[in-house]
C-alpha cells in the first residue's frame, strides 16, 4: 500500500472568508493521487496531508478524466479523510487515480 499524495493548487483559497483573518480555518484545493488502497480506514489519508490538523468538511472527489465521483467525508475525529462505498454507507478505499480534492478544516 502506497501512501496517498496531495499537491495543493497554487490558485486555491487558503482561508475561509467568513472568519476573521486570524482564524486557522481554511479551504484547501488540489490533486489527490491514490493507488486504490487508501480511504477505508481512519488515518489512511491524514489531515496533515492537506496541511490541516482536522478536517471538518470534504467535497466529493472528482477523477481527472471525469468518469468517477467519489463521496468522501472526514473521520469522526477529523484526523483523516474517508472514502464511501458506492452502494452502502460503509467506508471504502478510493479507487486508484488522480482526483480533484477540496477539503475544509484547520
Structure confidence at residue 11 (pLDDT): 63
Q: Can you say how many angstroms the Cα of residue 80 is from the centroid of all Cα atoms in its chain?
A: 8
Structural domain spans, the chain: 5-105
**36 pLDDT higher than 90:** yes
Place of cell 486508484: 96
Nearest to 49 by CA among 31, 64, 24, 36: 31
DSSP designation for 79? S
Instruction: Indicate the pLDDT class of residue 61, thresholds 50, 70 and 90.
Output: very high
Mean per-residue pLDDT for 5-12?
78
Distance CA 29, CA 68 (A): 18
Amino acid at each position: 500500500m502506497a501512501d496517498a499524495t496531495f499537491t495543493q493548487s497554487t490558485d486555491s483559497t487558503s482561508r475561509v472568508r467568513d472568519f476573521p483573518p486570524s482564524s486557522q480555518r481554511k479551504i484547501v484545493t488540489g490533486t489527490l493521487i491514490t493507488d486504490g488502497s487508501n480511504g477505508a480506514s481512519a488515518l489512511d489519508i491524514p489531515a496533515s496531508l492537506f496541511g490541516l490538523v482536522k478536517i471538518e468538511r470534504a467535497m466529493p472527489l472528482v477523477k481527472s478524466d471525469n468518469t468517477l465521483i467519489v463521496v468522501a467525508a472526514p473521520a469522526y475525529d477529523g484526523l483523516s479523510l474517508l472514502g464511501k462505498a458506492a452502494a452502502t454507507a460503509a467506508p471504502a478505499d478510493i479507487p486508484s487515480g488522480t482526483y480533484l480534492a477540496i477539503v475544509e478544516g484547520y
